[in-house]
Each structure stands twice: as C-alpha cells, then as structure tokens.
C-alpha cells in the first residue's frame, strides 16, 4: 500500500522546541512548535494501523527525530492518542483503532529514545488541554471536551490540569446508559457511544429505519440527506443532538463546569446541531447549572488535533 506524506515548515522557534505526536488509526502527525501554540513544522501520513505498533513507532520516531534535528533543541514531547491508556505511566492498552497496541510502554520508549520529558495524554484530554491553553481569551477553570467523533469520549481539565481516575484512566462517558432502548455499542443498548458519536448516526439509522438501512450508512451520507430535507435523516440528527444534550445535562448537574466543548460533529453539522444540544441541556439540567455552563464548538477549529499534541508537550515541559 502506498503512502502519501505531507510536510510544511517555517523558522525554528527561539527558546526550545516542543514536539507533538498525534497517533491515530487513520493518520499520524508529528509537529514541531512552541509553548505559545505556534507550529513551525509538521509532517502527516496515513497510519496503516494494521502494521501494528512496531512499524508504526519506528516511523513516528524517525519523523520525530528528523524534526528534532531541524529545530533544536527539543525541550519536551507530547502524545495525543486514543484510549484506553494509563496516562500516569504512559502505557497504551488496546485502543480499538490501533490493533496490537496492548501494554505498549510509550512514555518509556520515547524517554529512552529522546531523553526529554514526555507526556502521553488521552486524545480527548489533550483536546481539552489545547482548548484551555489557546482556544479562549479567558481560560475556564472547569472545562469538559466531548469528542463527538468516530467515538464518544470525554476529556476534563480542571484548573489547568487534565483529570484522570484510577490507573490513569480517562472518563469513559461513552459507556453511560442514556436510554433502555436504542442502538448498541460496547454490547450496551442505548449507551452514549451508540447515540452521540459521529458513527452513531449510522447506528441510529439501522435501529430506527431498518427497512431503509440494513447496514449503517456513513455519517456524511446522513448529513447530505438531511441537508436536502430528507425527513428520516433530519430525525436521526435531531435524536443524536438530543442525546448529546442529555449527556451535557448530566455533566452540568454533576460537575457544574464553566464550559463544555463539543468536538467533530459540531464542526460538521454546524450551528443548528449545537443549538439543539444546548436546548436539550437547558431542558434537563438544573437551571443554575445550565445557565452557568457555556456549550460551544472548538474555537481552534481544524487546528485542534495538531494543537492537542502540542498541549500535551507543554504539559510535559511544565511537569519536568
């Protein structure tokens, strides 16, 4: 299988370089930047995740070494990667989109290879960090980021630090039961993952309209149909928004955050979808909690994924 690699570069930053590694099942990216969120250089390529961790890490480290040589000195490295993982130890435990990544001691491997501080963050927590660092004029004390992407995860940043539970685990909000009936994910009918992710648009379609869709359609197909006024597609997106609003109401009541940032679906489906999420949250949450909590799209937009890895590197630098 052929690979296409894209690169871009600018002048190296003064005062040391941060390296960000964004590792996913579809693409990988390594970037060189600085603590103010500016990016000096980046390279991106298809992951070919079926190769397993060995070849993937060889390529990631080779690209990181190349950027480190072009922009010395490197002060810290940050990794944004899907869970489950132990963020405290930097050990990856079989993310669904990364076959074979079981017990990969990623933090140790990078420390040994590069000899600088390393932070390995759950991708949702890394996105929350990036929005906290560079997405707002005033940094919120309590920020929750919901991925709303291929999967449905949550990252939480309180007073500038990401929250992790026992064993360095990120909150697995996708497992929360929202309704006793509904599509299925993780073997749980009606859970948040099944209703609120981008992939759940297809799940909802086959659950609500099995005569029309025997197999889950792609999310972009549902989006295109809804834009053309298709009633079924409009209803699918409306249900997805309501259930995402229900999750926001749970978070608002339980944590009273200042800000909930909605991930990919808010960018793909736009302001009407975000408004529907807000409306459902306001309907279900305690009035005070809902009034205090802002629900918004990522201010960093398309830059969020890159800057999530850079935010992880900045955290590693601060913890050194």
Asked if residue 180 and residue 150 are part of one domain, the reply reads yes
pLDDT, mean of residues 294-306: 94
**Is 128 a domain residue?**
no
pLDDT of residue 13: 41
Which phi-psi region, left, alpha or beta, contains residue 16 (left: φ > 0; alpha: ψ -120 to 50)? left
**Is 127 a domain residue?**
no
pLDDT of residue 96: 82
**Is 210 a domain residue?**
yes
Asked if residue 46 and residue 67 are part of one domain, the reply reads yes
Contact 146, 264 (CB under 8 A): no
**Is 1 a domain residue?**
no
Q: Is 81 exposed, middle or buried (0-12, 13-18, 19+ CB in 10 A)?
A: buried
> What is the residue range of 45's domain?
6-122+302-319
Per residue in 252-278, pLDDT (tens digit) is 999 999 999 999 999 999 999 999 999
pLDDT of residue 46: 95
Asked if residue 149 and residue 289 are part of one domain, the reply reads yes
Per residue in 36-50, pLDDT (tens digit) is 999 999 999 999 999
Asked if residue 109 and residue 167 are part of one domain, the reply reads no
Asked if residue 110 and residue 11 are part of one domain, the reply reads yes
Instruction: Give the max Cα distance, the chain.
Output: 61
Asked if residue 276 and residue 234 are part of one domain, the reply reads yes
pLDDT classification of 5: cutoffs 50, 70, 90? low
Q: Tally the domains of the chain.
A: 2
Asked if residue 222 and residue 75 are part of one domain, the reply reads no
pLDDT of 148 strictly over 70: yes
pLDDT of 14 strictly over 50: no
Asked if residue 115 and residue 219 are part of one domain, the reply reads no
Q: Which tokens go with 87?
A: 């963020």
**Is 222 a domain residue?**
yes
Q: What is the CATH number of the domain that holds 13?
A: 3.30.420.40
Asked if residue 282 and residue 165 are part of one domain, the reply reads yes
A 10 A CB-CB count for 2 gives: 4
Asked if residue 272 and residue 168 are part of one domain, the reply reads yes
**Is 266 a domain residue?**
yes
Asked if residue 165 and residue 111 are part of one domain, the reply reads no
pLDDT, mean of residues 25-29: 92
Tokens 């298809």: give the residue.
46
**Is 145 a domain residue?**
yes
pLDDT of residue 9: 45
**Is 129 a domain residue?**
no
Q: Is 69 exposed, middle or buried (0-12, 13-18, 19+ CB in 10 A)?
A: exposed
Of 3-12, 129-138, 147-156, 297-306, the one with minimum mean pLDDT is 3-12
pLDDT, mean of residues 14-32: 90
Asked if residue 285 and residue 147 are part of one domain, the reply reads yes
């Amino acid at each position: 299988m052929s690979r296409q690699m894209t690169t871009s570069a600018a002048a190296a930053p003064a005062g040391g370089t941060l390296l960000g590694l964004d590792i996913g099942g579809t693409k990988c990216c390594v970037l060189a930047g600085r603590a103010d969120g500016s990016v000096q250089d980046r390279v991106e390529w298809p992951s070919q995740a079926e190769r397993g961790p060995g070849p993937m890490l060889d390529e990631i480290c080779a690209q990181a070494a190349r950027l480190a040589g072009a922009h010395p000195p490197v002060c810290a490295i940050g990794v944004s990667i899907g869970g489950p993982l132990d963020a405290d130890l930097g050990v990856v435990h079989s993310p669904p989109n990364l076959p074979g990544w079981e017990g990969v001691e990623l933090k140790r491997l990078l420390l040994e290879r590069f000899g600088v501080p390393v932070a390995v963050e759950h991708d949702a927590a890394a996105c929350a960090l990036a929005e906290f660092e560079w997405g707002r004029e005033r940094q919120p004390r309590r920020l929750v980021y919901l991925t709303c992407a291929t999967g449905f995860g949550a990252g939480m940043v309180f007073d500038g630090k990401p929250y992790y539970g026992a064993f360095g685990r990120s909150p697995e909000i996708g497992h929360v039961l929202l309704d006793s009936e509904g599509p299925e994910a993780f073997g749980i009918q009606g859970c948040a993952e099944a209703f609120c992710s981008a992939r759940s648009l297809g799940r909802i379609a086959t659950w609500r309209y099995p005569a029309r869709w025997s197999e889950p359609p792609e999310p972009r197909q549902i989006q295109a149909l809804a834009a053309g006024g298709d009633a079924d597609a409009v209803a699918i997106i409306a249900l997805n928004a309501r259930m995402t609003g229900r999750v926001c109401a749970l978070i608002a009541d339980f944590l009273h955050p200042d800000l909930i940032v909605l991930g990919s679906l808010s960018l793909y489906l736009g302001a009407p979808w975000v408004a529907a999420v807000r409306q459902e949250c306001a309907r279900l949450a305690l009035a005070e909690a809902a009034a205090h909590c802002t629900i918004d799209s990522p201010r960093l937009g398309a830059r969020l994924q890159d800057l999530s890895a850079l935010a992880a590197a900045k955290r590693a630098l601060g913890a050194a």
